[in-house]
């Protein structure tokens, strides 16, 4: 099955491991990378008795990379959509192996570090990440702003939001089971793909392992495709989009808490003038605004959770199952209508008082502000209910069909982070 001395296999049924590299005009570094990948496959075969292939996911090279890769014993998969993530997604779908070991095609990673990663997958993990901070970063291999600012900040944020427990979330050398790769339904076409894989694996509670990986200066004579500030922002915005609890929920709760305190004191001031501290008209307006914005943010949090559960990249938890039993369009409409009617009643009282003053100005704006607030919250609740019903699949019970997607993993596998 070997083609000369190269560890590449033509029989799809015999392929266990696919070493996958994204490629865009890498003719200079391809010989080193493919030779290194062959060596990694030989070591994998010696260690575990399994076979492999090398796939180059070509992203539109114009320097002859495709012909060179084929001549060196790799299989070339053309991927039309441009981008680091797009290339890896296209190559991952075309991979014949049940395990995918992916790494950059610039000579910065040593694919023999992936031998231990395949061992972790064989032990039952779904994803194995490399850690350059454990394996070693050669001088000049990583810019200082990436090493000391970008990577620590983004990895720390990812771990805070998603409790992934990963030391190096953006290491380009990683291994994943093919069935887990398909289950994650990855869509990030750019560098944010690196974060997306870890986030979705953590959200689905897939077992993740980590092993040391080394990083060397790349072999290119041209500038790298990575743009630190642009790609850093793409990572950060992706983290936020996949974390509605942090993006909307935390600010929303803070706004509701502060707004409630202000409006509560304003109510006390209205009922008992002279109460300390004095809350005047300006503070009343601010408190009402905070409650309005906070309520909207909490609705967006729930909408984000409904979408995440419906699309399958989050697992339903205890809170989600509790909400499932009570969160329906009808309940949202009833709650919204109740708030709307209460606000209407308050505004009717305001009108009656206005008439009683012979249409003169009021000394305090608390009641009209409260009435307008209740009306606004009622309308937002009803409209939010329809939004969540739409996101939930046009069903009145928002999370009626939200259930854990099949993992494709043995039941005995533990959804924990491996060392």
* Residue 22 phi, psi (nearest 5): -80, 145
65 vs 21, 25, 92, 104, 105, CA distance in Å?
A: 12, 6, 19, 14, 11
Beta bridge partners of 34: none
* Residue 358 phi, psi (nearest 5): 60, 45
Cβ-based neighbours of 286, under 8 Å, separated by 6 or more: 262
What's the pLDDT score for residue 109? 96
What's the pLDDT score for residue 395? 83
What's the pLDDT score for residue 322? 72
What's the pLDDT score for residue 234? 80
The answer to pTM > 0.85 is no
Domains contained in the chain, CATH given: 12-241 (3.90.550.10), 244-391 (no CATH)
Cβ-based neighbours of 243, under 8 Å, separated by 6 or more: 161, 162
**What does pLDDT average to in each consecutive run of 10 residues of the chain (419 residues)?**
38 82 94 97 97 96 96 96 94 97 95 97 97 93 85 91 91 96 92 91 94 91 66 83 92 97 93 83 95 96 88 76 77 95 96 89 91 97 93 79 44 35
What's the pLDDT score for residue 414? 35
Cβ-based neighbours of 261, under 8 Å, separated by 6 or more: 287
Alpha-carbon distance of 259 to 372, in angstroms, equals 15
What's the pLDDT score for residue 313? 79
What's the burial of 355, exposed, middle or buried (CB within 10 Å: 0-12/13-18/19+)? exposed
What's the pLDDT score for residue 315? 77
**Helix, coil or strand: residue 60:** coil
Is beta strand 99-102 parallel, antiparallel or unpaired with respect to 127-131?
A: unpaired
What's the pLDDT score for residue 7? 43
HSE-up (13 A, CA, CB side) for residue 91: 31
């Amino acid at each position: 099955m070997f083609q000369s001395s190269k560890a590449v296999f033509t029989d799809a049924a015999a392929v266990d491991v696919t070493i996958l590299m994204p490629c865009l005009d890498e003719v200079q570094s391809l010989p080193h990378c493919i030779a290194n990948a062959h060596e990694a496959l030989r070591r994998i075969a010696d260690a575990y008795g399994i076979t492999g292939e090398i796939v180059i996911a070509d992203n539109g090279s114009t320097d002859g990379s495709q012909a060179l890769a084929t001549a060196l014993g790799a299989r070339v998969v053309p991927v039309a959509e441009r981008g680091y993530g797009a290339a890896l997604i296209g190559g991952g779908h075309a991979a014949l192996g049940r395990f995918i070991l992916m790494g950059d095609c610039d000579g910065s990673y040593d694919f023999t570090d992936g031998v231990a990663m395949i061992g972790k997958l064989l032990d039952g993990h779904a994803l194995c990440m490399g850690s350059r901070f454990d394996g070693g970063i050669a001088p000049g291999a990583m810019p200082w702003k990436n090493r000391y600012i970008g990577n620590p900040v983004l990895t720390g944020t990812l771990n805070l939001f998603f409790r992934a427990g990963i030391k190096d979330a953006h290491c380009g050398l990683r291994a994943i089971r093919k069935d887990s790769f398909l289950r994650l339904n990855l869509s990030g076409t750019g560098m944010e793909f690196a974060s997306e894989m870890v986030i979705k694996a953590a959200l689905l509670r897939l077992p993740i392992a980590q092993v040391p990986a080394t990083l060397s200066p790349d072999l290119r004579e041209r500038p790298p495709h990575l743009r630190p500030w642009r790609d850093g922002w793409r990572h950060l915005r992706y983290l936020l989009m996949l974390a509605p609890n942090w993006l909307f929920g935390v600010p929303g709760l803070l706004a509701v808490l502060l707004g409630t305190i202000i409006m509560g004191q304003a109510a006390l001031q209205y009922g008992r003038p002279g109460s300390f501290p004095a809350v005047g008209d300006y503070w009343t307006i601010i408190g009402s605004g905070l409650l309005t914005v906070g309520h909207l943010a909490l609705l967006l949090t729930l909408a984000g959770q409904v979408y995440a559960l419906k699309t399958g990249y989050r697992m339903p938890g205890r809170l989600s199952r509790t909400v499932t039993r009570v969160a329906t369009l009808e309940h949202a409409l009833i709650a919204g209508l109740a708030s709307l009617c209460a606000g209407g009643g308050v505004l009717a009282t305001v009108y009656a008082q206005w008439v009683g003053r012979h249409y003169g100005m009021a000394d305090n704006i608390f009641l009209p502000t409260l009435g307008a607030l209740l009306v606004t919250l009622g309308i937002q609740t009803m409209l939010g209910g329809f939004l969540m019903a739409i996101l939930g699949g046009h069903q009145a019970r928002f999370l009626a069909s939200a259930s854990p997607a099949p993992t494709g993993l043995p039941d005995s596998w533990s959804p924990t982070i491996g060392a």
